[in-house]
Amino acid sequence: MDNETNNTNDINNENDINNNNTTPRSGGKPLRLKLGTFSTIMVIFAVAITIVVNMVVENLDLFYDLTPDQFFSISDTSNQILAELPADVTIYTLFRTGQEIAIYQQFLQSYRVFPRVNVVNIDPFVHVDFVARYTQPGQTIPVNSMIVESGDRHRVILPHEMRTTRFDIFTLSEVVETITFESVMTNAIRQVTMGFDNIIYFVTGHDEVPISAAYQQEFADWHFELRDLNITMIDRIPDDASALFITTPMRDWSEMAAQVVQDYLMGGGKAVFFIDFNNVDYPNLRRLVNYFGIDFADNAILESDTNFLVPLQGGQLNPFAIIPLYGEHTITNEFVHSDFRAMLINARPLMQLPVARQNLTIEPILISSPNSYLKDLHNFDPETDTLNREPDDTTGPFVITFAITDRNSSPNSRIVFTGTEAKLNDNFNNGTNSRMVLNMFSWAMDTLPNVWIEATPVNDNNLTFTSAGQLYQIMIISLFVIPGSILVAGTGVWLRRRNK
């Protein structure tokens, strides 16, 4: 009887547990308490695992781009260059602590996964002495710049180099159009890890247009050493010359100076010319240029197509301030498929001679539009003459820059001739002119040209509010309505389960 009673009690106890979940089991603890304790432990365990996984992922620098079109992923070109780096490189970002630019940090994630690339942030307001080590006299390195360094080489990247902008006439402000971060960063890494120093002689002696301090710094950043060379005082170009840098002289060269330069170029030398339109005759300089298969005219190129004009201060269009077209060439590959535009002023047309020496390759680099035209301004009278396009004016397109390779020497001579010195001014186009000039010298000296990497377009996918009321509505819904609804629903579920 006692056994039967015990069995009955056991069955009743089991039914009570299944129905009410309140009857104690072994140890006298309610099942609900056990389940709650178990759930709490599992939550703590899950949180701990999440923390550990995040720490491991962060230490491993794992990165996966989930954005549409792989916005933050770098190209195959960059991946190959970074995988084959011959030396370690450090990228110093100059962000204020707590004010880092998120979009650049995301791009840098794709660089820091490579073992030879290290990324370090240096707050320029805290580490003033660090930034001063890389600052040239008379120059400043603004916040949000970057410094790429390898060994004793470094390259400073300024904020405006990492993006292109346009002026929005509706908001009256600059709007970012494309991100050029990858192109600038990858090329900077190449320069400091694989480049080599070159001595470029700036030709003087005939009142040449000087090089601005900003351009001198650009050359220094690319590890091109600039030295002055008075060609009226020498009988040969120094043997350590990597190239000659020639700007517009205010008077013609002497026969001897022209012969010194010609002898250097005939022996495999390199040179880049920038000869502006002016009222000076250059018979000796012209003979030198003719020897390499081209000639320059004494007319000015003007532009009638507003799509190829650069708005100057006040929005006015100057027919002398033109945007050229690009020829397909190593020098221009970086710009052909991008929004980068050169800007030229007071350009003169160049012509290829119908009869030239053999083994000359002459390639057009910069070309004016088909709607450009020529004006002879030597005897221009503003009272009777006009700058407007007239029926008798010779129309374009006109070549403004040639790249010339002379294969009659070993090594081959390489010359770039531009019919304007306006490319030595970057005030109008966010550095496109200087970048192209540096490409000209890189090609002439057969060093490392910039690799072309397409800029990343910025799509404006931001949510736009047309009134303050809409903003307040979204804020109230996000901060109060949605969390409140979840809280009420959760409380209802909890009460219902409690009363069962």
pLDDT tens track for 246-298? 998 999 999 999 999 999 999 999 999 998 888 788 999 999 999 999 999 88
pLDDT at residue 19, rounded to an integer: 47
Q: Identify the residue whose tokens are 């707590």.
A: 98
pLDDT at residue 62, rounded to an integer: 53
Q: Where are the beta strands (DSSP E) in 332-436?
A: 344-345, 350-352, 360-367, 372-375, 399-406, 413-418
Paired tokens of 101: 């630019």
In whole angstroms, give the CA distance from residue 220 to residue 17: 83
Indicate whether this model's pTM tops 0.75.
no
Q: Which residues of the chain have pLDDT under 50?
A: 1-27, 461-466
pLDDT at residue 390, rounded to an integer: 84
- 342: CB partners within 8 A, 6+ apart: 323, 324, 335, 366, 423, 429, 432, 433, 436
In whole angstroms, give the CA distance from residue 405 to residue 265: 11
Nearest to 434 by CA among 334, 351, 363, 347: 334
What are the pLDDT digits (tens) for 342-359?
Answer: 888 888 999 999 988 889
pLDDT at residue 32, rounded to an integer: 58
